[in-house]
Amino acid sequence: MADDRFNWEIDPKSIERSLNELRDRLKRVADQARYTKVRFLWKGKQLLPDVPMTTLLAAEGLALLLTGPLQFLIVNLGVKAFLEVQLVHESAERVAEGVDYFQRGEVDLAEARYREALQMNPEDTAGLYHLGILLRVTGRRDEAIDCLERAARDKGHPDALKAEEALDRMRRGPRTI
């Protein structure tokens, strides 16, 4: 008689590592949602103040529960036919503030804004690029290279190309006349 049992061995160390990775990934997703806002536009003009993503999701869940799936779908499709919905991450706002400070020569405030943006979204390409440039200008070459290399990884972002160009200039060294 054949043994029909299924044996499965589990390595406790592997499970713990996998659960920790899952926990870290879920935390990053939750952090991203926490800092993401929804902007409603009509004919290119903002209608309401930005609404936190979590608030919108809660309201949509409640609406689905109260109205039922068909009515919920009809209302959502009808509203989206007239309104443009944008997702806005707070880190982008911090980077924009940092750019303004940097242009005014307030380097310390600019750096603080870039670092705030990167706390909210550690892979924010624009934040990494602008912080890298600021660090390069202030003489912190190694930190600048690290930020610019991380920014250059995001091939789909316009600042990635600028980061690669800045890295090339840094590696070539100072200009000689």
Give the tens place of pLDDT for each residue, 15-41. Answer: 777 777 777 777 766 666 666 777 777
- 90-172: CATH topology is 1.25.40
Q: Would you call 172 exposed, middle or buried from its count of C-beta atoms within 10 A (0-12, 13-18, 19+)? A: exposed
Give the tens place of pLDDT for each residue, 73-124. Answer: 777 677 667 777 777 778 888 999 999 999 999 999 999 999 998 888 888 8
DSSP SS3 for 164: helix
At residue 1 the predicted structure's pLDDT band, cuts being 50, 70 and 90, is very low
- Identify the pLDDT of residue 131: 93
- Identify the pLDDT of residue 143: 92
Question: Boundaries of CATH 1.25.40.10 in the chain?
Answer: 90-172
DSSP SS3 for 109: helix
